[in-house]
Structure 1
Amino acid sequence: MIFSSVFFIFVFLPITLLIYFVIPKWGKNAVLLICSMIFYAWGEPVYIVLMVVSIVYNYISGIEIDYYRGRKNTRRMRFVFWMAVGVNLAILLFFKYYGFLMENINYILPVDIPYKELALPVGISFYTFQTLSYIIDVYKGNVTVQKNLINFGTYITMFPQLIAGPIVRYADIESQLDERRITLSGFGNGIAWFLRGLAKKVLIANNIGMAYDAIAALPQGEMSVLSAWIGCIAYTFQIYFDFSGYSDMAIGLGKMFGFEFMKNFDYPYISKSITEFWRRWHISLGTWFREYVYIPLGGNRVGTAKAIRNIFVVWFLTGFWHGAAWNFIFWGVYYGILLLLEKYVLKKVLEKVPAFIKHIYTMFFVLIGWVLFFSPGLGEAVSYIGTMFGIGANGLADAAGIYYLYNYALLIILSCICSVPLTYKIFTKIIFGGSKGRTVLAAGVYLAVFVLSIAYLVNATYNPFLYFRF
C-alpha cells in the first residue's frame, strides 16, 4: 500500500483517523501500532513476522542494556549492545545483500553456487536504522529506555514514515510517544503538507517519470545525445518530486496524528556546491550517518588522513545502503570524492566564482551522479554517460529526442519552477493572508490540487514509488 493510492486516501486513512480520534488517549498508540501492522502486512504479510521479531528483540535488548548499566556491569552491557547491533545489521545484510554477495562469489571464484533471490522487505533499510538509533542512544545514555512495548512498537512501525522515511531517530520523538498535542490548526497543516506531497508525486513525478522510462527503454546505440540528456533530466526531477513528495506526505500524516517529523528535503536543486546539495537532500539519512558513523569515527576532529578515511567510510556506506549493486557503491564513492575535492581543493575556488557558475557546476555533477544511480549496472552507467557526450550516440538529435523535448518541455519547465523556494513563497503569499477571503481561497486551491491528483490516480496505470526498492 502506498500513500498515493485511492484505497489509502479514501479507505485506510479515514478509518484509521476515525478510530484514532475516537479512542481515548491511553489507547492511541495501540491503534497506531495495529493500523501500522495492517498497513505493512497489506503488501507482504509474510514479513510481518520479521518485524514483530525485530520489535520484541530490540525492546528486550534496550531493557537489558539499561539493566546492566544500573548494575554497573559494563562488560555485559557492551555485549548486549554489540549483539543487538550485529543482529539488526545481519538481518538487513541477509535480506538486502544476500543475492549481491552470492552473485559476486560466483563471479570471482570458479564456482556456480545456486541461490534464490529474496524479496526485499519493504522499508527494511529505514526501520533497521530506526532500531539502531534507539539501541545506540540507549547504550550511550542519550535517551531513557522504553519499557512500554506498545510505545516502542509504535515508534518502529509508525506507517506515516515506515516504508520511505524520513528516518526518525528515537531521540527526536521520545517525548511525543507519551505526550503529544493534536490541534485543529496542526491537523489542517498536516493536510496541507500531505496534499502538496501528493501533487508532487502524482502530478509531477509520475508524469515526468514516463519520459525517463520511455527513453531508458531505448537501446543505447539508438539513443541520441538529446534523448540521453532529456532522460537524465527527467529522472533528476522524477526522483526529487517522487521522494520529497512522499516525505512531505509522511510529515503531513505525522502532523495529523500529533507527531512532528524532521524535514527531509530543502530544495536541493538550488545548491551551489555538492556539500550544500547533501545538506538539503535526504536530510534524515545524512543526519543518521553523521550522528552514528561520522562523529563516532572522529569526524573532522582528527588528522587529515583519518578525516579523509571517515568521509570515504560514510559515503561507501551511503551508497551501499541504497542498494545491493556496484553502481550504488560507486555512486556513494563518487560523492565522497567530490566532497573531499570541495573540502581540500576547490573550497577557495568556489568562493570566488559567481553563484550561477557554482549552481551549473553542482547540477552538472548531480546529473552525472543520477546516471550512476538509475543505471542497472556500472557498465550501463558508463555507456549512458558516454552517449550524453556523443560517444556511441545516434547523432546529436533524432526524431525521438525532438519528440520527447516537444512533449515534455513544459513539464520540465514546471519542474524547474517548483524546485525553487521562491515559488512556494509566492504561492503562500497569494493564498494566505489571515483574511477570511484568503482562507477560502487557500481551501479552494488545495481542494483543486486534491481533485486533480485523484482524477489522475483514478485513470493512471503508472504510479511507481522509486524508494520502495531501497
Structure 2
Amino acid sequence: MVFNSLEFLIFLPIVFCLYWLVFKKNLRIQNVLLLLASYFFYGFWDWRFLSLIILSTLVDFYVAQKIFQNNRKISKKYWLWLSILINIGILGFFKYYNFFVNSWVEMFDAFGISIENTWTLRVILPVGISFYTFQTMSYSFDVYNKHIKPTKDIVAFATFVSFFPQLVAGPIERASNLLPQISTKRVFDYNQIVSGLKLILWGLFKKVAIADALAPIVDDIFTNYSNYSSSTLILGVIFFSFQIYGDFSGYSDIAIGTAKMFGIELSSNFKFPYFSRNITEFWNRWHISLSSWFKHYVYFPLGGSYGSQVKSIRNVLIVFLVSGLWHGANWTYVVWGAFHALAFVPVFVIKKNKKYKNLALGEGELIISLKEILKVIFVFSLVTFSWIFFRSETIYQALEYIHNIFINKSFSVYDHPRGYRMIDYYMLISLFVIFEYIIRKDERNPIRFKSKVLRFITYTLLILLMLLFYDNGIDRSFIYFQF
C-alpha cells in the first residue's frame, strides 16, 4: 500500500477512528491495533514477506533480553553478533546475493576466465527491508551500549519495528525516541493532528506535483540520453534532483504527519538540503535518520574522529561506501557514495564540517550575500552531478551521460514527451524553491501562516497544482521503496 493511493485514503481514516474513538482508553489495545494495521499495510503489498519482519522482531526482542541479563562482556558480544548476522544475513540474501554472484563472475570474465553462472536465484526484494532491518538492529546496539533498557512488552516492540507510517521508507527511528512513545499513553491533541494533516498535504504535493510530474521527463532524457543536447542532459539531471527530493522528502513528510495523527512524533528526515553551503551541511540535512544511523553504529565504533587523521578519513570513506551500497545492489551506488566521500573529506580535513550545523541559509540576515548564494549553487551542482550515477543503470551509462554533456555542446529546446508545456514545469520548480526558502527554518510546520485567508489560499493552491500536474499514466510508487 502506498500513501498516494485510494486504498490508503480509505485505510487511514478507519484506523484513525478506531484508534481514537473506540480504543482510546486502552493503550495496549491501541498498540495491538497499530501493530495489526501495520502488518496489513505491509502485507497489502505481499503478505509472504511479513514473516521476515516478524523474524527480525523476535530475534532482536530475545537478543536484547539476553544482552541485558548477561554480565560477561563476551556473552553480550555473542548475542549482539547473533542479531547482526541474522539481520544482515536476511538483508544480504534478498538484496545482495545475485549482485555479488554476478560481480564475481564478471571479475573472472575480465581476466579471460569464463565461468558459467548457474548460482543466481529469482529473488524478490522485499519492500523496505533495508529500513526495518536497520531499525530493529539499532535496538540491540542501544541495549548493548546501555543507552536503553530492553522492553518486556512484545507488542510495543513489534509496533516499534513495524509502525506503518515509517515502515517501508523511514525515517529510521531509534528505540530511544520511538519506543517510549509507543509504551506511553497518548492523548488526543487537536493541534497535533492539524499539524499532521498539513504535513501530509505538503508531502503529497511534493510527491504528486513535483516528483511524479517530473518523472516522465527524467525517464525520457535518461533513456534516450544519446539523442539529446548538452542543455537537455543538464535539464534531465537537474529535474532528477528535484524528483528524488520531492519523492523521498515527500514520503517522510507524509510519514511524520501520519504519525502525528496517532500522537507520535517521528524524527525529522529532511531539512531543506538543497540550501546547503558545503557538502557536510548537505548530509546533515539529507536523509538525516540514515546519516545518524551510520554515524552512531558504524563511524563511532570504527573510532570516529579519535586517533590519527588518516584513520578518521578511513572511517569517513568506509561510511560513505557502505552507505552507497545500502542504497542498492549496483556498483553505481558505490561510485555515488565514493563521490560524496571525496567531496566530504576536504571539508572534514579543514574542520569546516560543523560550520553550518544549526544555522539556516540567510538566518539573521536581511539579504543573502552573493558569497552564500554561490556556495549554495556550487553544492547543489556537486550533488546534482553525483545523481547521474545514482539514476543510471550502469557505470558505463553514467559515464556516457557525462561524456555527452561535455561533447554535445549545443542548446536545444526540450519538448515534453507527452506534449505538455515545459514553461509550466519551470514555473512550478521556481515557485517550489521560493516557498521552500520561505519555510526553510522549520521543516515540520510548512504551512504556518497566522492568517486564515493565507492558509486557505495555500491549501487551495497546493490541491489545484496536484490536480493540474497529476499524471495517471505513471508508476506512483516511491523511489526509495526499492531500497
- Flag whether TM exceeds 0.5 (same fold): yes
1:304 aligned residue (309, 314, 323): 309
For 1:430 and 1:257, the matched residues in 2 are separated by 20
For 1:119 and 1:241, the matched residues in 2 are separated by 26
Q: How many residues align?
A: 457
- Equivalence for 1:41: 43
**Aligned residue runs from structure 1 range 387-426, under 5 A:** 387-390=404-407, 393=408, 396-398=410-412, 400=414, 407-419=421-433, 421-424=436-439
| Deviation readout 1:389-444 (Å, 9 max, x if unpaired) | 22xx3x513464698999334423432442354333799899732xxxx3365256
Counterpart contact for 2:196–2:258, Cα < 8 Å: yes
SS of equivalent residue, structure 1 residue 295: helix
- Equivalence for 2:462: 449
- Equivalence for 1:64: 66
- Equivalence for 1:272: 277
For 1:32 and 1:52, the matched residues in 2 are separated by 15
Select the structure that is richer in helix: 1
SS of equivalent residue, structure 1 residue 419: helix
| Deviation for aligned residue 1:455 | 7.7
Moved more, 269-278 or 373-382: 269-278
Amino acid corresponding to residue 65 of structure 2 in structure 1: I
**Aligned residue runs from structure 1 range 372-383, under 5 A:** 372-383=389-400
| Deviation readout 1:67-98 (Å, 9 max, x if unpaired) | 21xxx233222211111111111111111101
Q: Say whether 1:161 aligns with 2:166.
A: yes
| Deviation readout 1:101-121 (Å, 9 max, x if unpaired) | 111122123322322231111
Moved more, 49-58 or 354-363: 354-363
Q: Which runs of 5+ in 2 are unaligned?
A: 109-113, 357-368
For 1:311 and 1:384, the matched residues in 2 are separated by 28
Counterpart contact for 2:305–2:312, Cα < 8 Å: yes
Counterpart contact for 1:211–1:408, Cα < 8 Å: no
Counterpart contact for 1:5–1:457, Cα < 8 Å: no
| Deviation readout 1:274-318 (Å, 9 max, x if unpaired) | 111111111111111111111221211221110111001100111
| Deviation readout 1:6-45 (Å, 9 max, x if unpaired) | 2211x11111111111113321110000000000011111
**Aligned residue runs from structure 1 range 70-85, under 5 A:** 72-85=71-84
For 1:214 and 1:165, the matched residues in 2 are separated by 29
- Equivalence for 2:157: 152
- Equivalence for 1:113: 117
1:227 aligned residue (229, 232, 254): 232
Amino acid corresponding to residue 356 of structure 1 in structure 2: I
SS of equivalent residue, structure 1 residue 432: coil
Instruction: Describe the shift of the 1:89–1:426 C-alpha distance in structure 2 as closer, same or farther (beyond 3 A).
Output: closer
SS of equivalent residue, structure 2 residue 302: coil
Q: Which runs of 5+ in 1 are unaligned?
A: none
Q: Say whether 1:122 aligns with 2:136.
A: no
Counterpart contact for 2:94–2:124, Cα < 8 Å: yes
For 2:447 and 2:253, the matched residues in 1 are separated by 21
**Aligned residue runs from structure 1 range 18-417, under 5 A:** 18-21=17-20, 22-23=22-23, 24-26=25-27, 27-68=29-70, 72-109=71-108, 110-114=114-118, 115-179=120-184, 180-218=186-224, 220-344=225-349, 354-390=371-407, 393=408, 396-398=410-412, 400=414, 407-417=421-431
Instruction: Describe the shift of the 1:228–1:195 C-alpha distance in structure 2 as closer, same or farther (beyond 3 A).
Output: same
| Deviation for aligned residue 1:214 | 1.6
Counterpart contact for 2:259–2:265, Cα < 8 Å: yes
SS of equivalent residue, structure 2 residue 45: coil
| Deviation readout 1:164-185 (Å, 9 max, x if unpaired) | 1111111112320111333011
Amino acid corresponding to residue 230 of structure 2 in structure 1: V
Moved more, 175-184 or 227-236: 175-184
SS of equivalent residue, structure 2 residue 187: coil
For 2:386 and 2:161, the matched residues in 1 are separated by 32
For 1:416 and 1:253, the matched residues in 2 are separated by 28
Counterpart contact for 1:254–1:260, Cα < 8 Å: yes
TM-score by length of 1: 0.90
Counterpart contact for 1:205–1:238, Cα < 8 Å: yes
Moved more, 12-21 or 231-240: 12-21
For 1:405 and 1:458, the matched residues in 2 are separated by 13
Percent pairwise identity: 34
**Aligned residue runs from structure 1 range 428-467, under 5 A:** 432-433=449-450, 438-439=451-452, 442-443=455-456, 445-446=458-459, 449-450=462-463, 453=466, 459=472, 461-467=474-480
Amino acid corresponding to residue 372 of structure 2 in structure 1: A
